Amino acid sequence: MNIFLDMFITFFKLGLVSFGGGYAMIPLIQKEVENHHWLTMSQFTDMIAVSAMAPGPIATNTATILGYKIAGLPGAAIACISVSLPSLLLILIIGQLFIKYQNHRIVKAAFYGLRPTIVAIIAYAAIKFAISNGIIGGSNYIDIKSSFLLVVAFIMLIKTKYHPAYLILASGIIGIMIF
């Protein structure tokens, strides 16, 4: 199959079935990366870090970077458009329906059911990244330096009003100094 068609189908499918925002989409993108052998897990993790630091939605950023890695600038354009297109089409349709039925008890109940599942998907992605990058698990069971940064960043997010971008920047600088 043509690489561009394969990318379009893959990213369109990801955009179509991914609910809960960009971070919830990461495990699905990871699965496709593994299935297509597009990147190593380490490369994928680095790509997620860059995607998180860049402005814009993380899923779109990740798809764009991945598309660029696979097929250059045309690949980036195809990945970006194809991952975003389902959201555009669906939101146009669902937006109209949601406005009309948002107070219906079944709609409210469905959203109460979706919320904890989305949190679980995001937690799963975080734990899987921690394991695949040796922060937890592996030969040391827990990497002390990485775990300390994780805990400090988590506390800073909870206790302060610092923007996450500042924590990302500080973590990069600290990483340069201690790793």
What does pTM read for this prediction?
0.60
DSSP string, 92-141: HHHHHHHHHHTTSHHHHHHHHHHHHHHHHHHHHHHHHHHHHTTSBSSSSS
Task: Please compute the mean of the pLDDT values over residues 41-54 and round it to a whole number.
Answer: 89
Asked if the structure places residue 58 within a domain, the reply is yes
Asked if the structure places residue 152 within a domain, the reply is no
> How far, in Å, CA of 128 to CA of 27, rounded?
9
Give 58-86 pLDDT, tens digit per residue.
889 999 999 999 999 999 999 999 999 99
Asked if the structure places residue 127 within a domain, the reply is no
Give 7-43 pLDDT, tens digit per residue.
999 999 998 887 667 777 888 888 999 999 999 888 9
Parent domain of 84? 3-101
The CA-atom distances, in angstroms, between 98 and each of 22, 56, 177 are 21, 25, 50
Asked if the structure places residue 146 within a domain, the reply is no
Asked if the structure places residue 126 within a domain, the reply is no
Q: How many domains does the chain have?
A: 1
Asked if the structure places residue 55 within a domain, the reply is yes
Confidence label for 119 from pLDDT (cuts 50, 70 and 90)? confident
Asked if the structure places residue 38 within a domain, the reply is yes
Asked if the structure places residue 20 within a domain, the reply is yes
